[in-house]
């Protein structure tokens, strides 16, 4: 019996499923929540939870590794217990709870409980996101009846992929702005709002998804392929171990032939042949995923000023999805067809190899940028060395002899030595001539320096005023400032300093005979501030990213002045120098991800495609594990050398892949004949496509689905 287009049943099925747009909306909301949170996560772990760069990198990539490990669990739950709809629903709830816990953790007071809430929230998000991954696209595919709606199906996956990148783009632009532009709980930023907004999107997507429950068309999963494969392999291994030496088979999987079908064993053999090619692939994801961790930290130490706009370090992650959308049509329509004429990059494994090598080049660029950045990093006090700085907060020249070295300090000047060899502490004698500053001709005394510490002094005619100085750049990259007040009013004079747009007031109160006082360090946003001293506007100062400043105020009966002294220079390498590495890594991702998915799905048997999905996701999980191991080992003190190590490992991995590819014999299982079976025995096989309950599994469907999901996180 043939299928007629004019049949009322067929005509009904030819209509585009309206419920698809609910699934698309859910996907947009989920990706907005995931990528929005992920864009600022590494900075939150470092800046708010107080972990070091290395520990923050380890936590971030452990989270990513967990996200890409749980899809295997989600697939098993969906196939054997809950089905796709209920799996998506339940894991969405877990996902939203994780977002809520992470949002709550960003609310002061900070401490141990903050870290507990954060880590628990991240675990729930990893479980929820990972559990949903194998189900959403597949549920969308289930809404179409094949072969009548195969054209619609291709359109669905195009829209599906667009929604993924739309969510990625919008959230990657929005959440960094929410983080940095809103002030809450007395902080200069607001991670709470930046995490809370993605949670709201996740809840909206979940509610809309559940409200459309009756509209979804679902199919019953008759068997779980992954479980069958695991059982077959386990049985073969046991039989091989327990079999006598005289009982030999050509392949170790053949030992399972006593209990398992030969076609299943054959399919597993072919799948393992493909999986061998996957061995070096995790190295690519080890490099690619560092865009959100190491490269974001790198960007935080750079100058992001572009005109009047301050580009945040986490904004750089927008480049990747934006370039993907631009590059894919260029490659598919122009670049690949042109190279095909010259028989270049004409196989998937060649594209994988070249894509991996380009990732290595991107990390070579990042290493060169890091070497340049090292020249701008502050010199920090270390064991065996001490740092000392001497301020002259007066409007006069001050001759000083310190440690038998003579110098004349300029008005409001600063002198320092960053590398004084010392063990423990040491006193250094000085002689200061205050004759030009209205004081005694000479004042003698000593200052004390401490090992592995930066100490600053203001020389007084009596006892020097000392404090432990702050010289390192802040974790957030924002400028740090303290106020040094020199007040020659009466001994109880108070000096207040206000900066425009800042709630806190810097205040010093002379309670001793010293004329100088210092305030604690405050971290502010990079911008221009108007300065008011004792309620009177004096001047404006410009605080830049990465700078550490001391604002000197000079107050007399007739005069008030301010001088901004730079203790640690601000970031001077511009953030645009990161563009080459981002462009190259994105081109590498387009080549690598698309070719890898095409290779996996065209080479695997039709019954094993779900295995390849899980394996592909696990390559990203293993890639994050590689980052965790290398970062935790702390092989190099300098970040530039670690980047070079990753580049070298990538080259070695791609050399291995090239060797394997040379002897690999391509096979194409995607054109295998498909047998359509109706659940209703009264319906003939050739009529199965028109039977409402039958939703056949199609290799073409799977291939299209995965081709449009370029990122393994999808």
Mean pLDDT for 489-498 is 73
| Structure-model confidence comparison of residues 491 and 277, the more confident one | 277
Mean pLDDT for 562-584 is 95
Query: Which tokens in the block code for residue 586?
Result: 């994105």
Structural domains of the chain, with CATH: 17-222 (1.20.1250.20), 277-376+572-666 (1.20.1250.20), 379-469 (2.60.40), 476-570 (2.60.40)
Mean pLDDT for 677-691 is 36
Q: Where are the alpha helices (DSSP H) in 48-82?
A: 53-77
pLDDT in the model for residue 110: 65
In this prediction, residue 538 has a pLDDT band, given cuts at 50, 70 and 90, of very high
501, 491 in Cβ contact below 8 A? no
pLDDT in the model for residue 14: 63
> Rounded CA gap, 281 and 352, in Å?
9
> Rounded CA gap, 10 and 413, in Å?
86
Residue 713 has pLDDT above 80, yes or no: no
pLDDT in the model for residue 112: 65
In this prediction, residue 3 has a pLDDT band, given cuts at 50, 70 and 90, of very low
Long-range contacts of 47-52 (CB under 8 A, 24+ apart): 47/475, 47/476, 48/106, 48/110, 48/114, 48/191, 49/110, 49/114, 49/115, 49/118, 50/110
> Rounded CA gap, 375 and 369, in Å?
10
pLDDT in the model for residue 2: 43
In this prediction, residue 154 has a pLDDT band, given cuts at 50, 70 and 90, of low
pLDDT in the model for residue 223: 60
pLDDT in the model for residue 93: 94
Residue 452 has pLDDT above 70, yes or no: yes
Question: Max Cα separation, the chain?
Answer: 115
| Structure-model confidence comparison of residues 698 and 585, the more confident one | 585
Return the minimum-mean-pLDDT range out of 504-513, 519-528, 686-695. Answer: 686-695
| Structure-model confidence comparison of residues 414 and 151, the more confident one | 414
pLDDT in the model for residue 479: 93
pLDDT in the model for residue 603: 80
Q: CA torsion sign, 511 to 513 to 516 to 518? A: negative
Q: Where are the alpha helices (DSSP H) in 280-318?
A: 282-288, 294-299
Mean pLDDT for 312-335 is 87
pLDDT in the model for residue 698: 35
pLDDT in the model for residue 409: 93
- Identity of the highest mean pLDDT range in 95-109, 457-471, 488-502: 95-109
Angle at 218 between CA 203 and CA 597, to 5 degrees: 80
Which helix H or strand E contains 309, and what residues bound it? strand 309-310
> Rounded CA gap, 513 and 24, in Å?
71
* Helix, strand or coil, per DSSP, at residue 209: helix
What is the model's pTM?
Answer: 0.82
pLDDT in the model for residue 155: 73
CA dihedral of residues 589, 591, 597, 600 (deg, nearest 10): -120
Cα end-to-end distance, the chain, whole Å: 40
Residue 90 burial by Cβ neighbours in a 10 Å radius (0-12, 13-18, 19+): middle
What residues have CB less than 8 Å from 617, skipping those under 6 apart? 68, 69, 71, 72, 133, 712
Residue 677 has pLDDT above 70, yes or no: no
Return the minimum-mean-pLDDT range out of 395-404, 439-448, 483-492. Answer: 483-492
- Share above pLDDT 70 across residues of the chain, in percent, rounded to a whole number: 87
- Taking alpha carbons only, the member of 183, 199, 214 closest to residue 32 is 199
What residues have CB less than 8 Å from 1, skipping those under 6 apart? 684, 686, 687
Residue 692 has pLDDT above 50, yes or no: no
In this prediction, residue 678 has a pLDDT band, given cuts at 50, 70 and 90, of very low
Mean pLDDT for 160-170 is 82
In this prediction, residue 462 has a pLDDT band, given cuts at 50, 70 and 90, of confident
30-48 pLDDT, tens digit each: 999 999 999 999 999 999 9
Residue 130 has pLDDT above 90, yes or no: no
* Helix, strand or coil, per DSSP, at residue 255: helix
Mean pLDDT for 68-73 is 86
* Helix, strand or coil, per DSSP, at residue 293: coil
> Rounded CA gap, 125 and 103, in Å?
12
* CA count, 13 A, side-chain hemisphere, 283: 28
DSSP letter, residue 623? H
Q: What is the mean pLDDT of the chain?
A: 84
Query: Which tokens in the block code for residue 120?
Result: 């628990």
- Share above pLDDT 90 across residues of the chain, in percent, rounded to a whole number: 45
Residue 440 has pLDDT above 80, yes or no: no
344-399 pLDDT, tens digit each: 887 889 999 999 999 999 999 999 999 999 999 998 889 999 999 999 988 889 99
What residues have CB less than 8 Å from 486, skipping those under 6 apart? 393, 394, 458, 515, 516, 552, 553, 554, 555
- Taking alpha carbons only, the member of 428, 318, 317 closest to residue 42 is 317
Q: How many C-beta atoms surround the C-beta of residue 215 within 10 A?
A: 12
| Structure-model confidence comparison of residues 609 and 534, the more confident one | 534
Beta bridge mates, 527: 543
Residue 598 has pLDDT above 70, yes or no: yes
In this prediction, residue 694 has a pLDDT band, given cuts at 50, 70 and 90, of very low
Residue with tokens 């305030």: 519
Residue 669 has pLDDT above 80, yes or no: no
pLDDT in the model for residue 681: 38
Return the minimum-mean-pLDDT range out of 290-299, 447-456, 536-545, 663-672. Answer: 663-672
Q: CA torsion sign, 488 to 493 to 499 to 504? A: positive
Residue with tokens 């194998």: 134
238-270 pLDDT, tens digit each: 998 888 876 788 889 989 988 898 888 888 998
263-320 pLDDT, tens digit each: 888 889 988 988 999 999 999 999 999 999 999 999 999 999 888 888 889 889 889 8
Mean pLDDT for 658-680 is 61
- Taking alpha carbons only, the member of 668, 665, 630 closest to residue 649 is 630
Residue 127 burial by Cβ neighbours in a 10 Å radius (0-12, 13-18, 19+): buried
589, 355 in Cβ contact below 8 A? yes
pLDDT in the model for residue 516: 67
Query: Which tokens in the block code for residue 409?
Result: 């300090």
pLDDT in the model for residue 659: 94
Return the minimum-mean-pLDDT range out of 126-135, 171-180, 544-553, 674-683. Answer: 674-683
For 33, 142, 330, the CA distances from 156, given in Å and listed in that order, are: 22, 11, 21
In this prediction, residue 222 has a pLDDT band, given cuts at 50, 70 and 90, of low
For 51, 119, 623, 647, the CA distances from 629, given in Å and listed in that order, are: 17, 19, 10, 16
Residue 447 has pLDDT above 70, yes or no: yes
Residue 689 has pLDDT above 80, yes or no: no
Beta bridge mates, 543: 527
pLDDT in the model for residue 237: 92
pLDDT in the model for residue 5: 45
Residue with tokens 């490659």: 331
Q: How many C-beta atoms surround the C-beta of residue 529 within 10 A?
A: 20
């Amino acid at each position: 019996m043939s299928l007629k287009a004019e049949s009322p049943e067929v005509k009904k099925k030819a209509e585009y499923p309206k419920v698809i747009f609910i699934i698309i909306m859910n996907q947009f909301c989920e990706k907005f929540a995931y990528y929005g949170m992920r864009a600022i996560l590494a900075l939150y772990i470092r800046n708010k939870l107080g972990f070091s760069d290395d520990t923050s990198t380890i936590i971030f990539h452990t989270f990513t590794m967990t996200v890409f490990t749980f899809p295997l669990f989600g697939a098993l739950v969906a196939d054997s217990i809950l089905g796709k709809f209920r799996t998506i629903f339940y894991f969405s709830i877990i996902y939203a709870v994780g977002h809520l816990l992470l949002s709550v953790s960003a609310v002061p007071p900070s401490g141990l409980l903050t870290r507990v809430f954060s880590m628990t929230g991240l675990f729930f998000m990893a479980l929820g996101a990972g559990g949903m991954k194998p189900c959403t696209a597949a549920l969308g595919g289930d809404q179409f009846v094949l072969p009548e709606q195969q054209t619609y199906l291709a359109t669905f996956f195009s829209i599906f992929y667009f929604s993924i990148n739309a969510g990625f783009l919008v959230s990657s632009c929005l959440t960094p702005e929410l983080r940095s532009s809103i002030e809450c709980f007395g902080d200069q930023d607001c991670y709470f709002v930046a995490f809370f907004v993605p949670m709201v999107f996740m809840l909206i997507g979940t509610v809309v998804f559940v409200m459309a429950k009756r509209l979804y068309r679902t199919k019953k999963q008759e068997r779980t392929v992954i479980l069958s494969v695991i059982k077959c392999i386990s049985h073969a291994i046991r039989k091989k171990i327990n079999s006598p030496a005289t009982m030999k088979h050509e392949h170790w999987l053949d030992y399972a032939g006593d209990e398992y079908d030969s076609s299943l064993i054959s399919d597993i053999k072919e799948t393992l042949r493909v999986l061998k090619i996957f061995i070096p692939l995790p190295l690519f994801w080890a490099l690619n995923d560092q865009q959100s961790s190491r490269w974001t930290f790198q960007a935080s130490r750079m100058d992001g000023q572009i005109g009047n706009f301050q580009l945040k370090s986490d904004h750089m992650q927008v480049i990747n999805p934006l370039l993907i959308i631009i590059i894919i049509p260029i490659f598919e329509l122009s670049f690949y067809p042109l190279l095909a004429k010259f028989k270049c990059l004409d196989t998937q494994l060649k594209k994988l190899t070249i894509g991996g090598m380009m990732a290595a080049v991107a990390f070579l660029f990042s290493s060169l940028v890091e070497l340049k950045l090292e020249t701008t990093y502050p010199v920090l006090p270390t064991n065996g060395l001490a740092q000392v700085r001497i301020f002259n907060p007066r409007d006069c020249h001050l001759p000083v002899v310190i440690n038998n070295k003579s110098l004349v300090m300029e008005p409001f000047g600063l002198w320092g030595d960053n590398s004084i060899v010392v063990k423990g502490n040491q006193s250094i004698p000085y002689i200061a001539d205050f004759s030009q500053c209205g004081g005694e001709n000479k004042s003698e005394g000593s200052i004390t320096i401490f090992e592995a510490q930066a100490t600053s002094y203001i020389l007084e005619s009596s006892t020097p005023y000392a404090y432990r100085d702050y010289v390192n750049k802040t974790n957030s990259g924002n400028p740090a400032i303290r106020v040094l007040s020199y007040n020659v009013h009466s001994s109880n004079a108070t000096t207040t300093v206000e900066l425009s747009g800042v709630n806190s007031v810097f205040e010093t109160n002379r309670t001793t005979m010293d004329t100088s006082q210092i305030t604690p360090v405050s971290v502010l946003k990079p911008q221009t501030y108007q300065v008011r001293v004792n309620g009177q506007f004096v001047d404006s100062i410009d605080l830049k990213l990465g700078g550490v400043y001391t604002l000197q105020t000079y107050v007399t009966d007739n005069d008030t002045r301010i001088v901004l002294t730079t203790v640690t220079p601000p970031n001077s390498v511009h953030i645009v120098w990161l563009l080459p590495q981002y462009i190259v890594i994105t081109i590498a991702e387009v080549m690598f991800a698309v070719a890898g998915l095409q290779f996996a799905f065209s080479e695997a048997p039709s019954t094993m495609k779900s295995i390849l999905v899980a394996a592909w996701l696990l390559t990203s999980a293993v890639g994050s594990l590689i980052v965790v191991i290398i970062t935790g080992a702390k092989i190099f003190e300098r970040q530039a050398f670690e980047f070079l190590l990753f580049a070298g490992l990538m080259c070695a991995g791609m050399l291995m892949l090239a060797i394997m590819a040379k002897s690999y014999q391509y096979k194409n299982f995607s054109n295998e004949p498909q047998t359509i079976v109706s659940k209703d025995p009264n319906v003939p096989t050739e009529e199965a496509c028109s039977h409402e309950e039958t939703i056949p599994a199609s290799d073409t469907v799977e291939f299209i689905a995965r081709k449009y999901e370029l990122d393994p996180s999808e």
